[in-house]
Amino acid sequence: MSPAFDSPIAELLRTQRVVVCCGAGGVGKTTVSASLAIGAARMGRRVLVVTIDPSRRLAETLGVSRNPTEPVPLPVERQRLAGIEAPGSLSAWMLDPQLVSDNVVRGFSKSPEDARKLLDNPIYKNVTAMIAGMQEYTAVEALYQFVLDDTYDLVVLDTPPSRNALRFLEAPSRAGAFLDRRVFNLFLPGEGGAIRRMAQRLLERVMDTAFGADTRKELQQFFELFGNLLGHLNHNQAEMRAFFARPDVGFLLVTSPTQEALTEARYFEGKTRDELGLNLLGYVLNRSLAWARHRPFPRDELLPADAPAVAREALEKLRRLAGTEEALVAQHTALAADLRQRAGGAGVAWILPGLPEGASEMDALLTLSNALLTKDA
């Protein structure tokens, strides 16, 4: 293991089992997630990077397909390009929540025939996308299983843009309201007293009038077949609540020096740490000019005393441009200091540079990986 990997981020990658990267859209969160995963693999850990919002470019860079049914190791040549050597390894899963949900149905239905009926049910095809947190719930379950089976030392999870990611984080509790057996029983025929039978007949008449008898029957079939999965889902729901509260499961908020991104990050900070009581590891400030705070800027001594006027005019233009950049550097540096204060003594606030135009995707990932792992950031 290289002694150069000595940053606070490197220490987190050594000790965490799960790092969840959250943030607004457009801040480079998926790229940061992949760079974290590459960094951890370079440090000798067996790493899985999971993205719920698959990026075509990221998949092409890593050399994996976008929505496989299970994680796949990066091709050997891609791992070599990334500087990953044994015992380190990197696998990726461009996760499709609907596919994960379908696999849960296949795995825990009472029979293959029940699974087929449920997957073909028109209500099922729409309801898992409509119910807030349902697809995210199954994604959480997939992640949870990877941690349990100990195939990987670290899972890095890239979530959708932050307001959508809240559905992912709240999935165990929000889906729980839907997964209540009492809700299902309202729609299913069964034994009961006269009042219950009367209520069920009334409900059927109302549904037949509102939606038609065929739709009502499809809905009843859905509730009957999906109800068979409730025991499994409700059992895992309680375990996953505890799983998210573990000290080795943490959340990094990825942001950039724009007002919109910072507003989202602060909103997300309040939800994760204060409202949900989750382990907030800190911030990553991406595309920041604070990285250039030690860079020298043009001064008068660049020119000899007898330099011609045209050279002095050119230097003055350069200095004006540099002055604008210096002001931004100072602004970004102050922002980084504010994020360090918000992160607290146990948290981190790390800055990453913007990348030059024309850099290849793999070069960009390696540049950010180095910036994440070394203490000079």
Rounded to the nearest integer, the mean pLDDT of the chain is: 80
* Helix H or strand E segment including 269: helix 259-269
Burial zone of 48 (CB within 10 Å; 0-12 exposed, 13-18 middle, 19+ buried): buried
3-state class of 157 per DSSP? strand
Closest among 219, 218, 225, 216 to 114, alpha carbons compared = 225
Q: Which of 297, 296, 295 is nearest to 318 (CA)?
A: 297
Sheet holding 18-22, edge to edge: 72-73, 89-94, 46-51, 154-158, 18-22, 249-255, 280-285, 348-351
Q: Residue 91 has what pLDDT? A: 95
Highest mean pLDDT among 126-130, 233-237, 246-250, 322-326: 246-250
CB atoms within 10 A of CB 97: 22
Domain 8-292+327-373 matching CATH 3.40.50.300: the answer reads yes
Which pLDDT tens digit goes with each residue over 98-114?
Answer: 777 788 788 888 899 99
Task: Kindly state the tokens that stand for 146.
Answer: 């990877």
- The yes-or-no verdict on residue 34 having pLDDT over 90 is yes
Pairwise CA distance, residues 312 & 323, whole Å: 16
pTM to 2 decimal places: 0.80
DSSP assignment letter at 143: H
Q: Which of 350, 357, 356 is nearest to 371 (CA)?
A: 350
Residues 205-216 have pLDDT tens digits of 776 776 677 777
Average of per-residue pLDDT across 83-91: 94
How many angstroms separate the Cα of 92 from the Cα of each of 33, 219, 277, 353? Answer: 11, 37, 28, 25
Q: Which residue has the higher pLDDT, 43 or 295?
A: 43
Pairing assessment for the beta strands 89-94 and 72-73 based on DSSP bridges? antiparallel
Q: Which two tokens stand for residue 284?
A: 């990553």
Which pLDDT does position 1 carry in this prediction? 45
Domain ranges across the chain: 8-292+327-373
